[in-house]
Structure formats: C-alpha cells, structure tokens
Amino acid sequence: MRKDKGFNRRAILAAPLMLSAATLVRHRSLAQVPQSTPLTLWNDGPAKQAIFEFIRTTTDQSSPKFVPPDERIATFDQDGTLWVEHPMYTQVIYCLERVPAVAAKKPELKKVEPFKTVLSGDREAMAKLTMPELEKILVATLTGMTTDEFVADVRQWLGSAKHPRWNRLYTDLVYQPMLELLQHLRGNGYKTYIVTGGGQDFVRVYSERVYGIPPEEVVGTAGGTKFGYDKDGKPVLTKEPKLLLNDDNAGKPEGIHLMIGRRPRFSIGNSTGDRQMLEYTGAGDGARLMMLVLHDDAKREYAYGPANGLPDTKIGTFTQALLDEAKKNAWTVVSMKNDWSRIFAFE
Amino acid sequence: MRKDKGFNRRAILAAPLMLSAATLVRHRSLAQVPQSTPLTLWNDGPAKQAIFEFIRTTTDQSSPKFVPPDERIATFDQDGTLWVEHPMYTQVIYCLERVPAVAAKKPELKKVEPFKTVLSGDREAMAKLTMPELEKILVATLTGMTTDEFVADVRQWLGSAKHPRWNRLYTDLVYQPMLELLQHLRGNGYKTYIVTGGGQDFVRVYSERVYGIPPEEVVGTAGGTKFGYDKDGKPVLTKEPKLLLNDDNAGKPEGIHLMIGRRPRFSIGNSTGDRQMLEYTGAGDGARLMMLVLHDDAKREYAYGPANGLPDTKIGTFTQALLDEAKKNAWTVVSMKNDWSRIFAFE
C-alpha cells in the first residue's frame, strides 16, 4: 500500500555502481558547525523569519504560544532534507555495492538473479530488475547478520564510498544550513529527531557523528531482529527480513507515535513521503512550524520535481499537489537557491 | 513463541473485578521525591553499594570504566520492578474494567463470550476463559479508538481505580526506593528507560508524571496504528489489533534495539521476562550493572516465586534457574525486605 522511497527502477538506472576507492577517510564531526549567530547560512527571507518567529513564540515564557521544554519535539526527514538524495538514496547504493561481498560469502548467488545482473555491472539489464528482485537485494544485504556486524560494515563503507558528482564521501553531502537549524533548535530545548524512509539501523550508524543526533532519536524504516546466542554463548541480535515499520508516507506519523509517542511541534521534509508527517504535526494545538525543502538549485545541488517544471524523478517527489497543500496550510517552502547562502561544507 | 506476561488464567482468577469508585483524585507528581542525599530509602548493604560503585566508576573521568554521557542508558522493567504487579498486572485490570464501557457502545458484545462472562462478574467462570478469549478482551479494549481517545480514557481510569489491598490508586503503588534510583541515575547523566511487557501506549500515559520518564523513553509491547482523517478531515491515528513488538523475554533486547538502538549499561527487572534484557546488558564491554528485585516482603508488599519456597504465581516469575543465573553472572539481587527501609509513599 505504501510506496517505499528506496526501491524504484529509475533510481537504479541512474546509479553509479562502481565500488568506490577504498580510501578510509578519518571521521570528523560534521555536526559541530561553529555557531555564535544562529542560521548564518540562511539568507534573510520568509523561511529564516518563520524559524526565528517559531523559536521566539515557543520559548518565550511570556508568549501565549510558549511550549514547555518537554514537549519540544522536532522531526526531520533525511534524504533530500538533510543530505543529497540524487541520483539515488545512499542506502540503496550501499545495498547494491554490498552485493559482491555477499556473493563472495554465498557463491551460489553469483549464478542467480537478481545478483547475477548486479554483479555484471550491466546498467541496462539492471534497469529491468523487477521490484521483487530489488527487494531480494535489500534483504540479502540488510539482513542475516548481527546488528554489530551491520554497524561495522556500514561504518567501513561510509568511510570510503564516494558520490559520483562531487567525488566526496556521502557524509560530506550534508546541507550545512540544516546542521545550523538542528543546532538552533537543540539550543532552544528541542529534541531533534530524524524521521526517515531510510533504514533506521543504517542511519543510526552515523547520525550522531554527522548530525549530532543520537541513535535513540532516529526513527526509520525498521525490520525485526532476533535475540539469540553466538557460538560462544554470547547474546546477539540478528537482523531479520521482517518489516516492522515502513517509515514513509502514512508510516511517518505512525512511526512517530511508535517511537516518540508525542506529536512534533516542528517538521521538515521535501517530498510527498513527508506529507502525512507535516499534516500530523500541523493538526496539533498551539504553535507549529511545517517546512518543505525545494530542490531548485541545479548549479549547486539539483533541481527536480514538477514544481520546477521538471519531470518527476521518483526520488524526493515534490508534486504540484504537495505545493498546493503547502500553500493552503501555510507550510513554509525553503528554496535551496534563494534561502541558503551555502549548501556544503566544501564549497 | 513468547509468553505474554499480561494474559494468564490464574491472574484473571485473582482479579478484583469490581469497578472502582469514580473518585477523581488530583494528579501529583510522584517522581519528585526530594533527594539531597541519594538512596536514603535503601539500607546499607550489597545492593546499595553496587549502585554507588557503578555510578562512581562510570562517571569518574579518571576511572578506566568511565562511560561517556551519551552512552549512559539504563533500562527498568515496570511491573514488579517499579510498582506492584499483584494480584495482577494493572493494565489487565484496566482492560477487564473497560469491558462494560465497550459493551455499552457495542451492545452486541453483551451476548457473546468472553464479554458475557466478564460482564457477569462471575470469577469462577472467568477463570475458565481461554487464552484466545482473553486476547479478544485485550483487542476490544485496547484497539479501535484513536490514540487521543485512548490516552483520555486511561488517564480517567487511573484517576479513580483502586488497588483492592490498599484501596489506593495504582499510581500510588510505586516503589519509592526505585524513584530514588531513577533520580540518582538521571542525576548522573543516565537516560532512564522503561522496558516493559506492558503496553507502551498505556504506560506512556502516566510515565512522566509518575516516574519522571517521558513517553519517548518508554519501550513496551506495541501495536500498530493507522493514520487517517476523522470526519472533520483532521489527521488521527487509530490503534490497530496488529502486534509490532511483544516486549517481554527475548522481545526486551529486541525492543531495546528497535526503540533505543544502544545496549544499556544498567538493567533491572524482577522476573524471567527480564532475563534476556539482563543478559544483553551484561554482554557489553566495560562497566555494567544488572539487578533483580526479589519480592520477599509479604508484610509490606508480597512474597512470591520459588526463590521464596512459594508456588509459582505466573506473575513476575522468579525461578530458581533465574536465581542461579543471577549468581553465576554476578547480577545483584535486591531484597525488598532487607534493602528497602520504606516501600510506598503512604507508609
């Protein structure tokens, strides 16, 4: 019923499938942007003004819209909102690039589809993979290992895999103005959650280092684990191919209820997958701020979605209907081109 | 596969099924025990000493076992660990006492089992209810309403329902030494989570007021919700009869991974349902403290479990095997009789 952002044919077609050079780059905390004045990377305009106004009215005790600290919950979509989501979701690239390692351990996979196609590197053939085949790849690369093994593997991959356009680590492709916004909200007593259609276990590996968001404040698409004991009798959790939460579209407010149990005061996303989260946020009493990031900067990042007169890429879909709903509900649209003076740390 | 603590025949038999007087008692925060000296309600002895030693070694920066603040996660079972679980789990009492209200809205239930039996008040007949029948009661009383309606109803019930032995609100039956322990851990930078076999949505209604634990730090047995719109077009979440997490036994470490994503440094429980949580906690590196509360004080509370030479009551099962494992793994057993100078606030 729900469409998973992570799986689609066009995305796969666009994917750079070459395994990146295995250069291990030393981790540095991207979350620590110096910030004496808040939102220095935001140009003056309605978006910046809306944020300042929201913070002021919800933290000033004399304001009729004051929000007690305990209730200060902010939720952030990840792909396309906190970091680059083009040409495809980072986690899907991870899964595709994991196939050779998985096949090395299970040689029988080399001869069967869809693994054969992925291993061939034939992009045209890969573009013809069916949804059930793509799901087989996700299951093979995201389940069956212990949670500790998964963390170690993702960490290693993130330390070497590079984005094809900038030839930089994926974790370098974080939007600096959003790091400022996260810090500004936290500095004003807000708990800043990630609420992503991406895998919860995947994002938790780097969320603290990259965004300053601890694992327990990451809500994402989640599979079950199975408690058991390894050969030495040590308790381990093994990742299972059992979907517990598809944290996209209606799954976002459902995931927020499951994992947080409170309605957010602030939500930001960039696609139709965030619509219900913003609606749910806006349905509460008192001050609320709902925002959408518009990708309209082809020069510095990407421009996509019907709002820009561009064909629907199926990644980060920002439809006319979403824009209409934003206008109707007074959601604030953030233009990457106009509202952000800088996008990346490396600019 | 997993045994749910909440459903069992003997518990139902023991249940006081009279609807309590509807006296609404003003809520007060039980979590705010004044605490200039920590653990004043704990007698000197190995349990108190183990807690102090754990806090000292994990918070002293010069200690080789120092734990960075971000990693300070503590997990507490609820029933029988934070509050009274006899003669039956409070949430099961809630469900049984909700049956008349549910039947009033759906009169067709009055003529069918198991509702007919519950409405009759015939305890002997109720004791013969089968597991599937008991599950029907839980489904009828815990699902089908919006999350907001559920919160309002639980809040009202908690304000009036009384425990048969003490004739006090259930939220008055919280162990004061455990409130001290929660505060002491929080005062030392620990996040204190509840990890309960009870319903997550149920416990979240009162956790902040009663334990000082916000909803987002309550992990429990959780069902799905469904996002939709009410007749006025307002987004709502409706509680569904779909089990996502059975947070008991192996489900506890699985729930901790799902909801927190970090291995706890400290865990405390009181039954075989907490065994895997304590094992999982103990399997990590560095300083860890695992504790079990032993109900051995029939005079002030209850004494139960084979460890006391008493028949297994099926509630809060503390078996000889669990006691053996505690000894083997150096888990600290807390004797309610010997370690706690006071149990309740009203003593």
CB B243 within 8 A of CB B135: no
What sign does the dihedral A261-A262-A263-A264 (CA atoms) show?
negative
Q: Is the pLDDT of residue B139 over 50?
A: yes
Residue with the bigger pLDDT between A314 and A264: it is A264
Please give the pLDDT value at position B307: 55
Q: What region does B333 belong to: left with phi over 0, alpha with psi -120 to 50, or beta?
A: beta
Closest CA to A66 of A287, A301, A332: A287
Q: Report which secondary-structure segment, H or E, holds B82.
A: none
Cβ atoms of A298 and A320 within 8 Å: the answer is no
Q: Which of the residues A258, A278, A288 would you substitute to probe the B interface, choosing the one with the greatest number of B C-beta atoms within 10 Å?
A: A258
User: Taking a contact as any Cβ pair under 8 Å apart, which residues of chain B between 179 and 218 contact chain A?
Assistant: 191, 200-201, 204, 208, 214-216, 218
Whether the predicted pLDDT of A154 surpasses 80: yes
Extract the tokens encoding A260.
């947080």
Given an 8 Å threshold on Cβ–Cβ distance, is B222 in contact with A258? yes
Which residues from B are below 8 Å from A195, CB to CB? none
Average pLDDT over residues B277-302: 96
Instruction: Give the span between the Cα atoms of A53 and A49, in whole angstroms.
Output: 6
Q: Which residue in A has a C-alpha nearest to residue B253's C-alpha?
A: A227
Q: What is the pLDDT of residue A313?
A: 58
Q: Which residue of A has its CA nearest to B212?
A: A70
Q: What is the pLDDT of residue A2?
A: 38
Rounded to whole angstroms, the Cα distance separating A216 from B257 reads 9
The b-or-e profile of A191-209 (16+ CB within 10 A means b, else e) is bbbbbbbbbbbbbbbbbbb
- Closest Cα of chain B to A223: distance in Å? 8
Q: Using the beta-carbon criterion (under 8 Å), do B254 and A147 form an inter-chain contact?
A: no
CA distance A253 to chain B (A): 7
CA–CA separation, B322 vs B124, rounded Å? 32
Contact A254 B200 (CB under 8 A): no
State the average pLDDT over residues B82-102: 93
Chain B contact for A319 (CB, 8 A cutoff): no
16-75 of A, contacting B, C-beta below 8 A? 70, 73
Q: Check if the beta carbon of residue B78 is closer than 8 Å to that of residue B194.
A: yes
Residue A90: per-residue pLDDT: 94
> How far is residue A10's CA from residue B226's CA, in Å, rounded to a whole number?
30
Facing residue for B257 by CB, picked from A225, A260, A262: A225
Write out the H or E segment, with its range, that includes residue A247: none
Q: Identify the pLDDT of residue B317.
A: 82
Bridge-partner residues for B266, per DSSP?
B74, B289
In whole angstroms, what is the distance from residue A294 CA to residue B133 CA? Answer: 52
Q: How far is CA A196 from CA A75, A78, A252, B285, in A?
A: 9, 5, 8, 30
CB contact under 8 A, A262 and B227: no
Kindly state the tokens that stand for A277: 């989260």
Are residues A235 and B227, on separate chains, in Cβ contact within 8 Å?
no
pLDDT digits (tens, 9 = 90+) for B12-41: 333 333 333 222 233 334 454 444 689 999
Give the nearest partner residue to B258 out of A70, A222, A236, using CB atoms: A222
Burial of A69 (0-12, 13-18, 19+ CB in 10 A): exposed
For chain A, the average pLDDT equals 88
Of A215, A227, A257, the CB nearest to B237: A257
Burial (0-12, 13-18, 19+ Cβ within 10 Å), A271 = buried
The model's confidence at residue A217, banded by pLDDT at 50, 70 and 90, is very high
Identity of the residue numbered A103: A
The residues pairing with B108 across neighbouring beta strands, listed in sequence order, are: none
The one-character DSSP state at B110 is: G
Predicted confidence (pLDDT) per residue in B197-256, tens digit: 999 999 999 999 999 999 999 999 999 999 999 999 999 999 999 999 999 999 999 999
Inspect the interface and report whether the beta carbons of B200 and A261 lie closer than 8 Å: yes
In this structure, the dihedral spanned by the alpha carbons of residues A230, A235, A238 and A244, taken in order and rounded to 10 degrees, is 160
Amino acid at B80: G
Q: Alpha-carbon distance B339 to B347, whole Å? A: 16
CA nearest A71 in B: which residue?
A: B214
Residues 6+ apart with CB under 8 A from A167: none
Whole-Å CA distances, B280 to B53, B123, B329, B342: 21, 40, 12, 31
CA distance readout (Å), B342 to B33, B57, B175, B192: 13, 27, 8, 22
Best of A29, A203, A213, A227 to substitute, by most chain B Cβ atoms within 10 angstroms, is A227
**Nearest Cα residue in chain A from B217:** A260
For residue B236, give the DSSP letter: E
- Nearest-Cα distance to chain A for B297, in Å, is 33
Interface test with A, best of B67, B230, B237 (most A CBs within 10 A): B237
User: Bigger pLDDT: A101 or A36?
Assistant: A101
Task: Give the position of tokens 């956790």.
Answer: B207
Q: Which residues of chain A are within 8 Å of residue B73 when distances are taken between CB atoms? A: 216
Q: For residue B288, list chain A residues with Cβ-Cβ distance below 8 A.
A: none
Strand order in the sheet with B191-199: B235-245, B218-229, B191-199, B73-76, B266-269, B289-294, B332-335
**pLDDT single digits (tens) A159-184:** 999 999 999 999 999 999 999 999 99
**β-sheet bridge partners, residue A266:** A74, A289
Binned at pLDDT 50, 70 and 90, residue A125 comes out as: confident
Contact A261 B218 (CB under 8 A): yes
Determine contact, residues B94/B79, Cβ cutoff 8 Å: no
Q: Does B230 touch chain A (CB under 8 A)?
A: no
Whether B108 contacts chain A with CB within 8 A: no
- Assess whether pLDDT exceeds 60 at residue A108: yes
Tally of residues, chain B? 347
Name the token pair of B292: 């079990």
What are the pLDDT digits (tens) for B153-167?
Answer: 999 999 999 999 999
Nearest to B262 among A216, A236, A244 (CB): A216
Looking at the DSSP assignment, which residues form a beta bridge with residue B195? B219
How many Å lie between the alpha carbon of B30 and the closest alpha carbon of chain A?
17
Contacts of B245 in chain A (CB under 8 A): 244
ipTM confidence: 0.89
CA–CA gap between residue B173 and residue B212 (Å, rounded) = 15
CB-nearest to B235 from A216, A234, A280 is A280
Cross-strand pairs, B194:
B76, B218
> pLDDT category, A304, cuts 50, 70, 90?
confident
Bridge partner list, B229? B235
Q: Which of B211, B258, B267 to mutate to test the interface with A (most CBs of A within 10 A)?
A: B258
